[in-house]
Amino acid sequence: MTIKELYNKNFNEAVEELAQIDDRITTYETLISFAKENIDNGNLFLSIHILKAVWEKPAEFYDYDYNMGTLETPTPLLLISDLEDYCEEQK
């Protein structure tokens, strides 16, 4: 999706389409499940890190690289402009 195509969609359409091609886009529910899984596995620090981020900045969608753990903090995606970095450059 190009930036021009991005702005021709509503936020939910755009974020759901981009989430299918970029695994950094995740949902609130998926982050909460990840935090619960890490509690069960004894990774409390990571769980607290995730839960604190979603508590302080509630959103339906987030940018989060699951491979980075606590080196990455979930960032809420709230506006169409928040999705520009996931788009292809226009040709």
Q: Is residue 34 part of a domain?
A: yes
Q: Which domain holds residue 62?
A: 3-86
Q: What is the pLDDT of residue 90?
A: 60
What contacts 86, CB < 8 A, 6 or more positions away? 1, 18, 21, 22, 24, 25
Q: Is residue 48 part of a domain?
A: yes
Provide the residue-wise pLDDT of the chain in tens; the chain has 91 residues: 999 999 999 999 999 999 999 999 999 999 999 999 999 999 999 999 999 999 999 999 999 999 998 899 999 999 999 999 999 876 4
Rounded distance between C-alpha atoms, residue 25 and residue 43, angstroms? 22
User: Quick check: pTM over 0.85?
Assistant: yes
Rounded distance between C-alpha atoms, residue 43 and residue 48, angstroms? 9
The total domain count for the chain is 1
Residue reference for tokens 């989060």: 64
Q: Is residue 91 part of a domain?
A: no
- The 3-state secondary structure of 17-62, one letter per residue: HHHCCCCCEEEHHHHHHHHHHHHHCCCHHHHHHHHHHHHHCCCCEE
